[in-house]
Amino acid sequence: MPNCENCAYKWRWADTFKLGFKGSGLCPNCKKRQYVSTKARNGPYFFYMIPFIILLLSGPLFDLNIVVYTSLGILLIFILTITLPYTIKLSNERKPLW
């Protein structure tokens, strides 16, 4: 879990999960605005797409049943949702994406 850069407060999973979609939020401890760092915004999302690409290509290649195909997709979404907050780093200032 990320830590606030002002007070070193360790954010909870649920707060960090919301922060991943909003891009910024107030620290629950010191109430200072924290931003998701540029590296954390750009990096993991690309790697999160790789399992989905493999899944899309493996369906026709291995002739997977639609139930198995859908189950694997749901499992991937669940795993990626659970691990998303662990990839977030915080920053005191907003920086451009690129």
Residue 10: the pLDDT is 92
Task: Confirm whether 60 is domain-assigned.
Answer: yes
Task: Confirm whether 98 is domain-assigned.
Answer: no
Task: Confirm whether 4 is domain-assigned.
Answer: no
Region 35-40: mean pLDDT is: 75
Task: Confirm whether 21 is domain-assigned.
Answer: yes
Task: Confirm whether 66 is domain-assigned.
Answer: yes
Residue 71: the pLDDT is 86
Q: Which two tokens stand for residue 31?
A: 């109430």
pTM: 0.65
Using DSSP bridges, classify how beta strands 33-36 and 90-91 pair: parallel, antiparallel or unpaired.
antiparallel
Alpha helices in the chain (DSSP H): 13-22, 38-62, 66-83
Task: Confirm whether 25 is domain-assigned.
Answer: yes
At 10, give phi and psi (nearest 5°): -85, 120
Most trustworthy range by pLDDT among 18-27, 49-58, 60-69? 18-27
Task: Confirm whether 8 is domain-assigned.
Answer: no
User: Residue 41: which domain range?
Assistant: 13-91
d(CA 48, CA 38): 16
What total number of domains does the chain contain?
1
Share of the chain above pLDDT 70, in %: 87
Task: Confirm whether 68 is domain-assigned.
Answer: yes
Region 17-42: mean pLDDT is: 82
**Helix, strand or coil for residue 7?**
coil
